[in-house]
Structure formats: structure tokens, C-alpha cells
A and B are shown apart, each in its own frame.
Chain A
Amino acid sequence: MTVLEIIRTFISENLIKDHNLSINENVQLIEDGYLTSLQTIELVMFLEDRFQFEIDPELVNEENFRTLGSIAELVQSRTEVR
């Protein structure tokens, strides 16, 4: 599974809870109301746990959480830093 697929699976199974909903890489997660602040925190906690790094609160912003693609980029950039 790629990073993107892992994130997509978590969001559709745990946050949106609609397995039939197809979230592609470019769906606007914030603008279209998929992510509330609570769901974002749940996602952050999942990412930290799954990929073993800490996300600074400053990085939890619209730019990094706009789409599945931008979240995957954030994860990849953080894991590369290590």
C-alpha cells in the first residue's frame, strides 16, 4: 500500500465511514467539509502512530491538509527528514 492509499483507507473507513465513497487524490477535504477539526486531529494521531513521527501543530493547516495528495506529501517530507 502506498502512503496515499493508507491515508485514503483511514479517512474512508474511520472518518467519513462511507466505504463506497471514492476520494481521489484531488478532492478538497477541507473546502468540501470532509475534515472537521476533530477528524483532523484523529487523522494526525493516526499518521503519527502509523508513520512514527510527530506533526507540529503549526503544520496542521489548510495547505497541508487540503487534499489526500497534500497530506501524503506532508507525510513523505516528514519521513524523509528523518
Chain B
Amino acid sequence: MTNFKIFSSEPAAGVRISFYEPHFFDQVCGLYRIVFGADAAVAFQARWNWAQQDNLCPGETPKWVLLAGERVIGFLATIPLHYRMVGRDVLAHTPCDYMVHPDYRFHGIKLMREFFRTCDNCVACDEIPATIKVTKWLGAKQAGVLQRYAKVLDARALRRGRFRAVPDSLWRVGTLGLRWYDSVRAVTSGSNLPVETVHEFDERSDLFFEQVSRNIPASVMKDCRFLNWRYGLGSPHSNRGIGVITNANGELQGYVIFYSAEHPPQTGYLLDLQVMPGVADSIANSLLNYALECLRRSGAWVVQFHRLSSPHAVPQQILQDNGFVARNTHQFLVKIRDESLREQVLQQENWMYSFGDSESSHAIV
């Protein structure tokens, strides 16, 4: 990363950008409330320490405020992560919690420009058109698309419009039918391999990542340290579930991480699902079944999974066979300073990337 600017300003405008300092915190939270609403602001405050102070590179976590006088009217934070790109360890930043007061929306460009001036490498996943447009204009390229899939677990999720009048008893029957279908499919497709529940990641995931990344040109450095930070204490998803499948030697063959949102409508998220390259589809199928059953028990009505279309992701066919339906997309954006890496990291088939790796997943509570 280039040196952080302590302060830069455009005095002609009266709106200036400044490096974030702790005394801005209350104003930043207040701005978050104005821009994203009260519930989102509570979640933002709750994940602050985890995201900004206790991340894996706390000394490499620049963030800025926009000031009109002494008033904070904009904010942009970053999440630094190590990536394995073409065999090399590369630090890249993700812009996050980007916001500008509605009366000062022109000035949002300044924050993003400061981000790109400061951070050599950027990896971002976004669905907000304005943010995508600014990010691309400042040089990031679309490296791929994360397709969101949804699967209904509880038939009441379909209760809308003319179906509102359908009595509860029929919805219960529908839900039982969905459950029965999944159970039968698990048996007939051989997708009922034993899945071990674990509470945190251990050195088996280091070995797993080393083996997987040999075949994959680009990925977040998803070792034990990353996984235990991303899904550990203080994380917005610390009450996630984890299931793993191991071989006869106790080596990890795949894992799934899932989370049930606390706020209605009851939505479950498959934040990560990875299998060792070349293993049978029954591994991914069994992990998927295990997660779906856990989410169903936790009360989720719908489950979402975001898939980057790459040979290193769970095959699309598995999702379709399990009743997942394609919905909207997030764009996967990358900017890398080192030209020798660019060609490879701008191709989505070279990536292993999960929704849980992205900053977009952090706001889910």
C-alpha cells in the first residue's frame, strides 16, 4: 500500500476529506442511521471492533470521513485481506460502509477516489449501481458475477398476493412436502454422508486451503486464521453453524458455513461451501443437505446462496437439483496494481470466492 495521507483537502469546496479519528465515531454512527436506518446502524456499531480494530491487518485499515466544517457528512472504511494470487500473497482492500449524507451526494466521489489513491489493490462485491459505477470509473474491472440463488424451506415464504387467503393448515402441508422432498433426495442421490459439526476451524483447514489453492489461481487466503476471524467471536456471524466432511485419514474434504438471520423474514445464508477439487458430488450435496436441515430447524423460511460462476464453486446443477432458483446478482470487482497478475485475476473462472468472503455479507444480521 502507498503511504496513508494524513490529511488532504479541497478547500475551495468547503467539503474536505480527512483521515478517520476516533472522536468521529459518534458522528459516523449518526450518519449511518440517516443513510441506512436505525437497525443497520446498531449492527454497524456492533461489528465495528471486529471489522476495524480486530481484523487480520489492523495497521493496514485506512478509513476516511468527509467533513463540512466539523460535521461528518461522509464515511468510507476498508477491510484489508490477504489473497493468494497466482501463488503470491497479495494484500487487497475492500471499500465498505461507504456512505454520504443525502445533501452532499456529489462529494461521495472524493471518498472513493481517496480509497483508490491509497490502496494499491481492491477486491469488492457489490449490488448497488451507484457504488459499482464509481468503483469501475476509478479503475476496477468486473471480474465476475455472484449469482444469488434462493430456496424455500417453509411454504409460508410464498404467502403473498392472492395466496394470502390460503389457510395456515395448507401452508403446513406445503412445508412438510418440501421437507419430505429434501429427505428423499438426500437418500436417492447419496447425499447423506456423515457431516461433523465443528465449533471453530483448526489446522485441518490450513491443510485444506493449501491443497485447494494449488489448483486455484485466485482466492482469499482462507486459512484457519482467516476463518476463525471471519466467523469467530465479535463477527456479525459468530453464531453460525459449521459442518465438515473428512476422509478416512481425518483430512478435510469439504466444509459448509451457514447462518440464520435474526431479523424477519427468517432467512438462512450459506456463507461458504467448499470442497476439495475432484471429490464426488456427494460431498457438496451432503454438506448442502446438512446446512439446509440445520437452517430449517433454526426456523429459516428461505435460504440464500451466492455463487461465483467458476469451476471451483459448487456446481450449478447441484443447486438446481436441490431446488435453488436464480435471483439477482452482485458484481465482483477487482483492481490490481501488479500488471503481471491482472490477466489471471480478472477472469472469474480463476477464482474461488464465497459470499462470506465479501464485505456485502457483513451487514447481514
B-contacting residues of A (Cβ < 8 Å)?
30, 33, 35-38, 40-42, 44-45, 57-58, 60-63, 65
Any A CB within 8 A of the CB of B109: yes
**With A57-B113, A63-B13 in contact, do A40 and B106 touch (Cβ < 8 Å)?**
yes
**With contact pairs A33-B103, A37-B109 given, residues A57 and B138 touching in the complex (Cβ less than 8 Å):** yes
Report if A40-B109 is in contact (Cβ < 8 Å); known contacts: A33-B103, A45-B137, A57-B137: yes
Find chain A residues with CB under 8 A from B100 CB. Answer: 37
Contact call B113/A37, Cβ cutoff below 8 A: no
Q: Is the interface of A mostly helix, strand, loop or mixed?
A: helix
Q: How far is the CB of A40 from chain B (nearest CB, A)?
A: 6
Which single member of B13, B113, B129 contacts A38 (CB below 8 Å)?
B129
Q: Smallest Cβ distance from A55 to chain B, in angstroms? A: 10
Task: Tell me if A38 and B103 are in contact (CB < 8 A).
Answer: no
Contact of A41 among B13, B103, B107, B137 (CB under 8 A): B137
Give the chain A neighbours of B134 by CB distance below 8 A: 37-38, 41
Residues from chain B with a CB closer than 8 A to the CB of A44 are 137
Asked whether any CB of chain A lies closer than 8 Å to the CB of B162, the reply is: no
Please give the number of chain B residues whose Cβ is less than 8 angstroms from any Cβ of chain A in the complex: 20
* Shortest Cβ gap from A64 to chain B (Å): 10
Q: Is the CB of B105 within 8 A of A36?
A: yes
Contact with A along B132-145 (1 / 0, CB 8 A): 01100110000000
Q: How far is the CA of A11 from the CA of B103 in the complex (A)?
A: 19
Return the chain A residue nearest B135 by Cβ: A41
Q: Which residues of A contact B113 (CB under 8 A)?
A: 57-58, 60
A36-B130, A38-B129, A57-B113 given; A65·B137 CB < 8 A: no
Besides the known contacts A38-B134, A41-B133, A57-B138, 7 further A-B residue pairs in the complex with CB atoms under 8 A apart: A30-B106, A36-B105, A37-B105, A37-B106, A38-B133, A44-B137, A60-B109
| Cα–Cα, bound, A36→B138 (Å) | 16
Smallest CB gap from B103: residue in A: A33
Does B70 have its Cβ within 8 Å of any Cβ on chain A? no
Complex Cα gap A33–B103 (Å):
7
Which 8 A-B residue pairings sit nearest by Cβ, starting from the closest?
A37-B108, A36-B105, A38-B130, A62-B13, A30-B106, A37-B109, A41-B137, A41-B133
Asked if B21 is an interface residue, CB under 8 A from chain A, the answer is no
For residue B12, CB closer than 8 A to chain A, the reply is yes
Q: List the B residue with the shortest CB-CB distance to A58.
A: B113
Question: Looking across the interface, which residue of chain B has its beta carbon closest to that of A34?
Answer: B106
Selected from B10, B103, B105, B138, the residue in CB contact (under 8 A) with A62 is B10
Which of B107, B108, B109, B113 has the most A CB atoms < 10 Å from its CB? B109
| Docked complex Cα distance between A61 and B103 (Å) | 16
Cα distance, A15 to B99, chains bound together (Å): 21
Min CB distance, A44 to chain B, in Å?
7
Q: Mark B115-129, 1 if CB is under 8 A from A, else 0.
A: 010000000000001
Q: Are A36 and B13 in contact (CB under 8 A)?
A: no
* Residues of the A chain whose Cβ atoms lie less than 8 Å from the Cβ of B108: 36-37
Q: B12 is contacted by which of A45, A58, A62 (Cβ under 8 Å)? A: A62
CB-CB under 8 A from B103, the residues of chain A are 33
* A-B CB contact pairs (8 Å), 20 listed: A33-B105, A35-B106, A36-B105, A36-B108, A37-B112, A38-B105, A38-B129, A38-B133, A38-B134, A40-B106, A40-B109, A41-B134, A57-B116, A57-B138, A58-B113, A61-B12, A62-B12, A62-B15, A62-B106, A65-B106
Kindly state the separation between the CA atoms of A38 and B98 in the bound complex, as whole angstroms.
13
A23, B107: Cα distance in complex, Å: 21
